[in-house]
Structures are given as C-alpha cells and as structure tokens.
Amino acid sequence: MAKRAGLPWDCVLSAELFHHYKPDREAYVTRPLEYGPNQRPHRITDGEFDFTATDFLDLADQLGV
C-alpha cells in the first residue's frame, strides 16, 4: 500500500509486531476515542502502567529517545 500510494513510511508499528494488546502494560499510548466518540475513556489508576503518554512523541520524550 505504501509503495503504490507513494507514502514515505519506514516502518509500521502495531500490536501484532510486539504481541501485546490493550490493556497489557506494554501497550503504552492512550487512545481517547478508542471506544467511540461518546464513550468514556479507560480510567488509569496509579501504578497501572510504567508510562502513560498522550502520543508517541510524548512517549519518546519519557523514554529519553
């Protein structure tokens, strides 16, 4: 798809690659509309995850990369 559409992707990251799916601790980035626009997002409790991030840039900052 990327080749035919001329999209400059280096890599597509997905849960399939890491074999971790929400709510696994290894699935990091919040998706506020994950359950639809009129649903309440998952409430994160203290200590539930090692990191919580608003997006992948925020996660990279927290990881120091």
Type of residue found at 34: E
Extract the tokens encoding 25. Answer: 């601790």
Mean pLDDT, residues 4-8: 81
Say yes or no to pLDDT of 61 above 90. yes
Percent of the chain at pLDDT above 70?
Answer: 98
Task: For the full predicted model, state whether its pTM sits above 0.75.
Answer: no
> Which residues, at least 6 apart from 60, have a Cβ–Cβ distance to it below 8 Å?
none
Domain ranges in the chain are 11-65
